[in-house]
Amino acid sequence: MLYGSGMTNEATARTAFAGAQSRAGVTIRTLTDLSELSDARDIFDTVWPSVAGGSQVQANLLRAIVHAGGYASVAYADEVPVAAAFGFCGRHRGADGAWHDLLHSHMAAVLDGFRDRHVGTALKLHQRLWALEQSIPVITWTFDPLVRRNSRLNLLKLGVEVRGYEVDFYGNMDDALNSGDPSDRLFAWWVVGSDRAEQAAHGGLLPLSDLEIESDDRRFVVELPDDIVALRSSDPEAAYRWRLLVRDRLTSAFDEGSVIIGTDSTGNYVLERHRP
């Protein structure tokens, strides 16, 4: 398949999604009914249990977001909910000074027993197809820069651009997964109809090899911990040191005009310096 046209269409996006859904062994559908929206809420609360109790997002709020034109979906395995996502419509001011529509994907989660089974990829490709059907050109979200799973999914399987590093973006978070750790986030910018998104959807974006990295003196690697989630539990001080190290390296690189161009084979970030 050639990717020279600059934009994709709904038919190719639908084909990519159908293949991803089949590989993951799930059925993904958008939600409007309150009972199904409760399935999404339960997924979010399971993945991010609140230390203080309560829910991460109430079903009635999801209902309002969907009613106002937003997005919510659940992935079902034999009618059992195993993953969910939701987002709300927003806008950004472009270089032309005008406002442009986007979808901000606020939460996406996969239950533990279904991770590393391509469910997350299928969920995002469903979201991409939905955005194309709604004539929404961009999906944005934030993600933890220390999680290697995030780097591989976002950069290689989806083909996002990274458009900034936000220090402690959400402030203190009270869920068991993030509590006590600064909520630093990378800002993902996904042009859903782009060549890069289409190429990624068909498996065309691969990790950069050591030779590819070393052959260009503009390229360099920012390393990540093997498993930051496990490290937070076993050694919070070491996890915090990693947070500060990666924060310093990425913010300094972005300030100098470097950009993330992909990952290496283990999921570390590969950046390219701007050449004056």
The predicted structure's pLDDT at residue 276: 66
Cβ within 8 Å of residue 227, ≥6 positions away? 148
Examine the pLDDT at 191 and tell me if it is beyond 60. Answer: yes
Supply the range of the domain harboring residue 242.
207-276
Mean pLDDT of 37-50: 92
Task: Indicate whether 114 and 246 sit together in one domain.
Answer: no
Beta strands in the chain (DSSP E): 27-30, 71-77, 80-93, 99-110, 138-143, 161-166, 185-191, 219-222, 259-263, 269-272
Mean pLDDT of 65-70: 95
The predicted structure's pLDDT at residue 5: 42
Cβ within 8 Å of residue 45, ≥6 positions away? 55, 56
- Surface-to-core class of residue 96, CB atoms within 10 Å of its CB (0-12 exposed, 13-18 middle, 19+ buried): exposed
Count the domains in the chain.
2
The predicted structure's pLDDT at residue 34: 87
Confidence of residue 4 (pLDDT cuts 50, 70, 90): very low
Task: Indicate whether 175 and 219 sit together in one domain.
Answer: no
Whether 188 maps to a domain, the answer reads: yes
When the pLDDT of each residue in the chain is averaged and rounded to a whole number, the result is: 91
Confidence of residue 139 (pLDDT cuts 50, 70, 90): very high
For residues 111 and 83, is the Cβ–Cβ distance under 8 A? yes
The predicted structure's pLDDT at residue 2: 30
DSSP 275: P
Confidence of residue 9 (pLDDT cuts 50, 70, 90): confident
For residues 200 and 255, is the Cβ–Cβ distance under 8 A? no
Structure tokens at 148: 């290697």
Confidence of residue 3 (pLDDT cuts 50, 70, 90): very low
Backbone angles phi, psi at 253, to 5 degrees: -65, -45
Task: Indicate whether 82 and 106 sit together in one domain.
Answer: yes
Structure tokens at 31: 């939600």
Residue 271: half-sphere exposure toward Cβ, Cα within 13 Å: 22
Task: Indicate whether 98 and 215 sit together in one domain.
Answer: no
Examine the pLDDT at 60 and tell me if it is beyond 50. Answer: yes
Q: Any idea what the CATH number is for the domain that residue 147 is in?
A: 3.40.630.30
Whether 142 maps to a domain, the answer reads: yes
The predicted structure's pLDDT at residue 50: 78
Whether 89 maps to a domain, the answer reads: yes
Q: How far apart are CA 64 and CA 77, in angstroms?
A: 26
Task: Indicate whether 254 and 161 sit together in one domain.
Answer: no
Examine the pLDDT at 48 and tell me if it is beyond 50. Answer: yes
Structure tokens at 168: 């402690």
Q: Among residues 171, 206, 241, which one ends one of the domains? A: 206
For 207-256, write each residue's pLDDT tens digit: 999 999 999 999 999 999 999 989 998 999 999 999 999 999 999 999 99
Whether 232 maps to a domain, the answer reads: yes
Task: Indicate whether 70 and 162 sit together in one domain.
Answer: yes
Q: Among residues 172, 206, 240, which one ends one of the domains? A: 206
Task: Indicate whether 57 and 174 sit together in one domain.
Answer: yes
Structure tokens at 101: 């529509």
